[in-house]
Amino acid sequence: MFQFRVAMFAAVVFLVAAISPTFGQEAAKIGVTPHGISERRVANHLPWQFEMLPERLTVTLRLDGPPVLGATQWHGLHVDDAVDDLGADLKLATQYAEDPWIATRPIPCRPRRMDSCAVSLNFQPSHRQATRIARLRGQFVLQTGGDMIVVRIPRLGSAVGKPVNDPALAAARLTLQIEHTPLSPYRSTLRLALKGELCGFDDVRVLSSDGKPIATPAPGATATTKTINLEQPLDNRLTLNVTLFANQKTITVPFEVHDIPLP
């Protein structure tokens, strides 16, 4: 068993950081407000998971405004100040502390044409006597807009083991290599290795000979590696479709929120 507490709030006093010329006019059009908070006090291991669920305080921020329309990724999290009402500093969770400018990660903006989305920040648990986060200030980078491009790689069986040469991939500053691991006569695994401007990558799927999707990346995919499990032999009747966004805008979004109740 583990202790898991959630606080949801419809309204809370907040302040979006004043936008200086450094951040530009696009950032000034983005509103940042607290959206939710949850806390897990005891590390837990569930039978169907391979890793421990660590102790964690998660703060979710909602982004609104025209530039959010079409947002695909956020990255570059930097927290300047996070203090509870006792005056204690909140510490970022381990993976953030080791790499504050954390690698690219998708944001929950589905369907893409929504004008709001959420960014979740993970901290170590708060002090037990604290009742609220007095101040949370920092910034992150938002990738948004751009032109959607679908790269079609036919004859998938012949594309294995070598870099994919495609003008659209080059224009998006991405490289892609496909590796294949047979598991049985009827099952196999594809591993897609991505390098370059990873923020432009959106989706990948395998199509059958009649153009129907038959496989997408398995859970646990990272920004640089996608694994696809095929329930059929790999051959040249299959096609790989890779969806990219080129010419995206990069917006540095500052935030400053106050008085967030702790669970």
- Do 135 and 170 lie in one domain? The reply is no
pLDDT in tens, 57-71: 889 888 888 888 777
Q: Distance between CA 91 and CA 79 in Å, rounded?
A: 9
Which pTM was predicted? 0.65
- Indicate the range of 28-42, 109-123, 229-243 predicted with least confidence: 109-123
pLDDT in tens, 133-145: 999 999 888 888 7
Segment 148-160 mean pLDDT:
92
- Examine the pLDDT at 233 and tell me if it is beyond 90: no
- Examine the pLDDT at 79 and tell me if it is beyond 70: yes
pLDDT in tens, 206-218: 999 999 999 888 7
Q: Which residue has the higher pLDDT, 61 or 116?
A: 61
**Short-list 258, 246, 12, CA closest to 143:** 246
- Do 46 and 98 lie in one domain? The reply is yes
Q: Distance between CA 62 and CA 36 in Å, rounded?
A: 9
Q: Which residue has the higher pLDDT, 40 or 180?
A: 180
What is the dihedral sign for C-alpha 228, 233, 235, 237? Answer: negative
- Do 41 and 134 lie in one domain? The reply is yes
- Do 8 and 61 lie in one domain? The reply is yes
pLDDT given for residue 179 in this prediction: 93
Please report, for residues 22, 94, 181, the alpha-carbon distance to residue 185 in angstroms, rounded to integers and kept in the order given: 57, 42, 11
Q: Which domain holds residue 107?
A: 4-145+249-261
Residue 185 belongs to a domain with what CATH number? 2.60.120
Task: Work out how many domains the chain is built from and give that number.
Answer: 2
- Do 42 and 28 lie in one domain? The reply is yes
User: Is the separation of the CB atoms in 79 and 100 below 8 Å?
Assistant: yes
Phi, psi of 117 (to 5 degrees): -160, 180
- Examine the pLDDT at 7 and tell me if it is beyond 70: no
Structure tokens at 82: 């996070």
pLDDT in tens, 80-90: 999 999 999 99
- Do 139 and 236 lie in one domain? The reply is no
Name residue 118's beta-bridge partners: 62
pLDDT in tens, 162-205: 889 888 888 778 889 999 998 888 888 999 998 887 777 778 89
